[in-house]
Amino acid sequence: MSKQFVQFANGQIFLVDANLLVSGTIQLHGTDEPDEHYAARLAVSGDLASWQEFNYAHIGTLDGTALIEFSGTLVELPDLDQSAVAEWVGLHYKVNYSTLSTAEQADWQLRYREAHLHDTGGYILITDPQNAKHQLQKQWRLSDVEVAHALASLDNEYGDEKVLVINGSHRAIHCPAYPSECDYVRIVLNGLEVAYWIADEWAEAPAEVMGAIIGAASAPPSVTA
């Protein structure tokens, strides 16, 4: 199954697995909230989404604010009242919901959830990666090339990897774990592969590829406010 995204009421968007497990990094901006655990949840998902569990840890600073790593499992979305969806679609868009195909109804259900987040779980699931493109690019300051690569490589699979975490960054460098040969290097941001090189490329143009790797790893800080 192709990977999907979760988008919260505060606009934040992250990869989510089939078990509704969400993980990633985010900046924890200054807050008056005395409960830091609650403040971390607010930074990730706003105050509408419910979590079965949520954990976080400080991993550095970025632009003078705390950078945290989080992981948690969301409460499953409640079933929609189809009559309410049909009434909303007909009233606001003059569309006869009952005559639509299953795929068309699914699109309207997603739009209904977006418009009624307070009553429908506080988040939406985005199953078509292209529908996440704009927000991903905005949230993580991705270039056109990076966001295109990220979406095209969502279903790529790799073996055991060594991960070099970059202090004060949402980005990390991944390569094959020892004792495998280091025949590729990739830059990953919150589960998204934004750049990738194979050994043949740096054998042919070592200076250019090394510069590209360092450049991709040290891209401009992300804005997640």
| Domain termination site, one of 50, 74, 98 | 74
**211 assigned to some structural domain:** yes
Amino acid 30: pLDDT: 72
pLDDT above 70 covers a percentage of the chain that reads: 95
Question: What gap in Å lies between CA 166 and CA 152, rounded to an integer?
Answer: 24
Question: What gap in Å lies between CA 29 and CA 131, rounded to an integer?
Answer: 27
Amino acid 225: pLDDT: 39
Region 71-95: mean pLDDT is: 96
Question: What gap in Å lies between CA 44 and CA 129, rounded to an integer?
Answer: 20
Q: Specify whether 59 is located in the same domain as 88.
A: no
pTM summary value:
0.88
Q: How many domains does the chain have?
A: 3
Q: Specify whether 13 is located in the same domain as 70.
A: yes
Asked whether residue 111 carries a pLDDT value surpassing 70, the answer given is yes
Q: How confident is the model at residue 224 (pLDDT cuts 50, 70, 90)?
A: very low
- The DSSP call for residue 50 is -
DSSP string, 107-134: HHHHHHHHHTTTTTTSEEEE-SGGGGHH
Asked whether residue 222 carries a pLDDT value surpassing 90, the answer given is no
Question: What gap in Å lies between CA 35 and CA 88, rounded to an integer?
Answer: 38
Rg for the chain, CA atoms, rounded = 20
Amino acid 220: pLDDT: 64
**125 assigned to some structural domain:** no
Amino acid 31: pLDDT: 67
Asked whether residue 1 carries a pLDDT value surpassing 90, the answer given is no
CB 224 within 8 A of CB 12: yes
Q: How confident is the model at residue 32 (pLDDT cuts 50, 70, 90)?
A: low
- How distant, in Å, are the alpha carbons of 25, 89, 109, 219 from that of 86? 38, 5, 9, 45
Asked whether residue 221 carries a pLDDT value surpassing 60, the answer given is no
**223 assigned to some structural domain:** no
Write the pLDDT tens digit of every residue in 151-190.
999 999 999 999 999 888 999 999 999 999 999 999 999 9
| Domain termination site, one of 38, 55, 74 | 74
Range of the structural domain that residue 156 is part of = 141-217
CB 6 within 8 A of CB 74: yes
Q: Specify whether 93 is located in the same domain as 147.
A: no
Amino acid 168: pLDDT: 85
